[in-house]
């Protein structure tokens, strides 16, 4: 369990604050600016109304479940003083979790009690951060992605679903989560936050640094989901989504 504390982003390539939940520490990352998007165009997609409209028009891909396991995650949005933020978690270290220690959206594998992947995303969000998505507005599905480990498919389909929570309660994180933080949506496309993330020393992947901590770099599977989201709202023309770690 963890409690929340307000951490100020002022002076760190940003303009606002966010709520982080969990302990503080640091790790290493490397920085390299990626291709700069059209910032004038991006100003039109920072508000929830544009995100909501984009999901209404969105036609997500749906992967076959035959012979595959299933997992699901939730993109949870909130508005603070007219500004839109999205919830990320830092997964706790665990030897049996292929995404151990990664930045992610709340979520996990579908259980027998889940009637569908969306139910799994809602249940896992409640278990991991104490957030009840029954009180949230369902915006829609985002994308189905293949799960990879060491560049190979693992027979897993990960579905992502978006929600807007008008009054999210204080987050209560479980032992599966090291930290949870609300991140301003525009951080996801700010050029200064696009980095090359060093993994296992010899490998490098595109990433997004979403807080002052070098631990808080979105890369891999979650980066691919973020790129799908940005493509949906017109904030990127990159359809490669980066390599599969």
Which tokens in the block code for residue 104?
């992610």
CA-closest candidate to residue 140, choices 166, 110, 156, 164: 164
Domain spans, the chain: 4-24+32-232
Question: How does residue 28 score in pLDDT terms, banded at 50, 70 and 90?
Answer: very low
> For position 243, what pLDDT does the model report?
58
Mean pLDDT value across the chain: 81
Residue 34 burial (CB count, 10 A): 17
User: Coil, helix or strand for 235?
Assistant: coil
**Tens of pLDDT along 39-55?**
444 444 468 999 999 99
Residue range 4-24+32-232 forms a domain whose CATH class is: alpha beta
Q: Where are the alpha helices (DSSP H) in 80-186?
A: 117-129
**pTM, to two decimals:** 0.79
């Amino acid at each position: 369990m963890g409690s929340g504390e307000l951490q100020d982003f002022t002076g760190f390539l940003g303009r606002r604050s966010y709520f982080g939940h969990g302990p503080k520490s640091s790790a290493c990352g490397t920085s390299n600016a990626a291709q700069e998007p059209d910032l004038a165009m991006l100003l039109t997609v920072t508000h929830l109304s544009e995100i909501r409209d984009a999901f209404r028009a969105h036609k997500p891909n749906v992967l076959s479940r035959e012979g595959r396991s299933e997992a699901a995650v939730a993109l949870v949005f909130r508005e603070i003083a007219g500004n839109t933020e999205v919830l990320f978690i830092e997964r706790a270290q665990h030897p049996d979790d292929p995404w151990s220690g990664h930045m992610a959206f709340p979520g996990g594998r579908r259980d027998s009690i889940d009637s569908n992947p969306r139910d799994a995303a809602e249940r896992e969000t409640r278990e991991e951060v104490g957030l009840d998505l029954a009180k949230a507005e369902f915006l829609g599905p985002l994308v189905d992605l293949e799960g990879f480990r060491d560049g190979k498919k693992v027979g897993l389909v990960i579905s992502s679903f978006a929600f807007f929570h008008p009054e999210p309660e204080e987050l209560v994180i479980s032992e599966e989560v090291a930290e949870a933080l609300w991140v301003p949506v525009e951080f996801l496309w700010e050029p200064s936050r696009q980095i090359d993330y060093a993994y296992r020393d010899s490998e490098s992947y595109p990433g997004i640094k979403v807080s002052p901590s070098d631990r808080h770099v979105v890369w891999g599977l979650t980066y691919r989901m973020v790129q799908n989201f940005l493509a949906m709202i017109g904030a990127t023309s990159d359809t490669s989504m980066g390599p599969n770690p």
